[in-house]
Structure 1
């Protein structure tokens, strides 16, 4: 089997030039490119990733760490990243940081170490348990680090983030504008920065409209359907009066809607519910879920474009670092009748 060294010798060019041809680098003249391609054809040489890596000092692989592989949220995120990189001839190595035993921080760190050991050209992280200081130290290493759905001071140019506080504010404001004052809230795990920010936005909307925050109408869920079901069960069992419910993500909203209907609530007549993320099933459940749009697929594309610009020198990429949420009005909320 022919090697890249034989191609280099036959074409009379350096290994680096052969690598540039294999990577479609614009700095190679058409004459030189033709010589290399002819040599490859004559020798029956087929490029492989190891040879390209040796010649170019690049693996053409980008590591991705997400919390988990299941669920539409992370599917949309990974699809955005992978499709953008694949179109540029790059590949991804994916691992997870979720742990069923509760040691999320250690699992996320293990995932990062795995990606670093794969010699990825860069890594894109969606991490929730690791603190900012760890990420700042990590960013000083030789492997460039980029963050999805998170903003860390000192790493702003490597972050693609959503204004989660504004999203939480808009969700609650949408209900207040429809006459609701008794508004329950099912939050995500409060060690997660996006869950914290969404809750802060909820409280800001209440405060601006002179509505007191009621601890009895607050429940911390798990960002899964079970969290929504358990939250509504908690409010009902404690005989809390509420006409509207904000859920910190769509999965919990789905669980809340199911439990509420099973216990006699007509939606949205008896209870208005709003979610967060606008994942694909939000438009298909009954009633169709009003939610906050979290453009995670677009953000995934943008994270990949940022890597292509910084690491692979595609300087024509236009980067948006900060995304703004919007309200998607559907059928699950209604105006409160006095």
Structure 2
């Protein structure tokens, strides 16, 4: 295996110059850089990442904690984060917290033990106080989909309440007044905020929320199917269902068809997230766009700027949702 000394000798430059070229942390004349890279290629030299880490006090790796590794939502998030870091010559290490306080803390501790230069956290169970303590311990991290006031400058968030408002207002503007709502787990901040937006839209149209038209799901498809079945069987007058994410909306579509509802002629269904499969449901799902990929890329850019001193485009910390109109929402049956 070739060594850095052999690269130095073949390129005719010092060890320090080879190190500067490989670490990309100090400007080097283009002619010199090309000679070093040519020597690296000819010798098949592979830099020792451990030695580089010790020399630079950097591992060039970023840890990511997400609630789960399956599903289209987190797949998109992780893919866009990894792609942005790969472009910058960095690597990611991923752990799942499963929305459990102990597992989230264990995942964060594991990533710290791997000497990650920074963390991206999509965590739901750990307390705000715990996250503030991490900051006080000088842990470098960015939060996604969560706002903690003392950490405002490291939070990348979506205006979830406005998204919930837009979803229900879209249904109301189509004439629907008998509306069921399938929420995410209400202990989660985003589910709570989306439901508050739903209530705000109902109030704006002079309607009162009804416990009989509310079902608390878990953001997974099966709970959307179960919730839709319960709501529609208990109250056949419901003409529209607002679902707090697309996975539950997909389950609701299945239940509605099995109950003999024609979509959207006598039942409209609204989603939230705009994940990839929403283009392919039948009917295609009207939903609220959650730019999760863009938010992940923005979190990566924030770390590249603050941890690695790289020049990046302007940082956006708050993202706004918007309605994506497709085919699953139609006029209320009595106004069709």
- TM-score, normalised via structure 1 length: 0.91
Structure-1 separation of matches of 2:36 and 2:260:
73
**2:168 — aligned with what?**
172
**1:212 — aligned with what?**
208
Contact 2:301–2:312 (CA<8 Å) still a contact in 1?
no
Classify the secondary structure of the residue corresponding to 2:257.
Answer: helix
CA separation of 1:117 and 1:110: change in aligned 2, threshold 3 A? same
Structure-1 separation of matches of 2:137 and 2:8:
33
**1:250 — aligned with what?**
246
1:259-338 equivalences under 5 Å are 259-336=255-332, 337-338=334-335
1:1-338 equivalences under 5 Å are 1=1, 3-4=3-4, 11-12=13-14, 14=16, 18-30=18-30, 33=33, 45-98=45-98, 104-239=100-235, 241-336=237-332, 337-338=334-335
RMSD: 2.2
Deviations 1:39-85 (A, max 9, x none): 86798643131122122111110111111111000000001100000
Contact 1:309–1:317 (CA<8 Å) still a contact in 2?
no
Deviations 1:153-197 (A, max 9, x none): 111221111100000000000011111111110000011111111
Structure-1 separation of matches of 2:37 and 2:221:
55
Contact 2:5–2:15 (CA<8 Å) still a contact in 1?
no
Structure-2 separation of matches of 1:240 and 1:140:
54
Classify the secondary structure of the residue corresponding to 2:136.
Answer: coil
Q: Which runs of 5 or more structure 2 residues have no equivalent in the other structure? A: none
| Shift of residue 26, structure 1, vs aligned partner | 4.3
Contact 1:4–1:51 (CA<8 Å) still a contact in 2?
no
Deviations 1:101-120 (A, max 9, x none): xxx11111111111111100
Classify the secondary structure of the residue corresponding to 1:180.
Answer: coil
Q: Which runs of 5 or more structure 1 residues have no equivalent in the other structure? A: none
CA separation of 1:55 and 1:239: change in aligned 2, threshold 3 A? same
Classify the secondary structure of the residue corresponding to 1:52.
Answer: helix
Query: How many residues in Structure 1 have an aligned counterpart in Structure 2?
Result: 332
Contact 1:62–1:90 (CA<8 Å) still a contact in 2?
yes
Deviations 1:195-238 (A, max 9, x none): 11101100111111110111111110010011111111221343
CA separation of 1:44 and 1:176: change in aligned 2, threshold 3 A? closer
